[in-house]
């Protein structure tokens, strides 16, 4: 289908668009971090996100922070889950505040109500110290929504999801 390019230009009077240029919107890629998404086959309201790779240290981590925010935000909008399990066991993270984008997106994208989707995060030795320092939780006594055991995180989240 051929689109008339004149239709793509905003209606303007008096050269208002002289100060604007067309731009492309795309998801920023991160070279060392990737997200894998798994959608529930029936019901389609439970989403599993596996994040793998190595986060850049400190301020060098801006690319992965934007990547996580954009990819997970898009997945939340597309799949509209009620519950999300984020498996971070294979994610290496030491320090830096860009990882906050991962947690922020759950407050920024609201689908069904004023409440964000239920979320649980599975951590490991590869990231627990850095995350606990940033998010201020006790690594010796994890409390939901943080877990070390994938099966426990899944089961707890599934039970909350199933109650709805």
User: pLDDT per residue over 119-129, tens digit each?
Assistant: 999 999 999 99
Q: Percentage of the chain surpassing pLDDT 90? A: 50
18 occurs within a structural domain: no
Look at residue 88 and give its three-state secondary structure: strand
Give the domain range for residue 109: 28-162
> Residue 32 sits in a domain of what CATH number?
3.30.750.24
Please say whether the dihedral angle defined by the alpha carbons of residues 27, 30, 33 and 36, taken in this order, is positive or negative.
positive
Structural domains in the chain (count): 1
Half-sphere exposure of residue 27: CA atoms within 13 angstroms, side-chain side: 16
130-134, 136-140, 156-160 — most confident range: 156-160
**Are the C-beta atoms of residues 153 and 84 closer than 8 Å to each other?**
no
Per the CB < 8 A criterion, the answer to whether 123 and 152 are in contact is no
Dump pLDDT digits (tens) for 44-91. Answer: 689 999 999 999 887 666 688 889 999 999 999 999 999 999 999 999
Asked if the structure places residue 16 within a domain, the reply is no
71: left (phi over 0), alpha (psi -120 to 50) or beta: alpha
Would 3 be classed as within a structural domain? no
Within a domain: residue 132? yes
């Amino acid at each position: 289908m051929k689109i008339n390019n004149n239709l793509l230009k905003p209606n303007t009077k008096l050269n208002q668009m002289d100060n604007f240029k067309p731009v492309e919107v795309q998801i920023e890629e991160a070279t060392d971090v990737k997200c894998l998404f798994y959608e529930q086959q029936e019901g389609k309201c439970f989403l599993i996100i596996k994040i793998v790779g190595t986060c850049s240290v400190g301020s060098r981590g801006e690319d992965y922070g934007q990547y996580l925010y954009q990819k997970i935000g898009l997945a939340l909008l597309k799949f509209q889950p009620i519950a999300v399990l984020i498996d971070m066991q294979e994610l290496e993270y030491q320090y830096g505040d860009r990882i906050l984008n991962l947690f922020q997106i759950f407050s920024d994208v609201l689908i069904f109500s004023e409440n964000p989707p239920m979320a649980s995060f599975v951590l490991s030795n590869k990231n627990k110290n850095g995350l606990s320092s940033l998010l201020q939780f006790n690594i010796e006594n994890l409390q939901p929504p943080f877990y070390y055991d994938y099966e426990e995180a899944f089961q707890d989240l599934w039970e909350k999801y199933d109650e709805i």
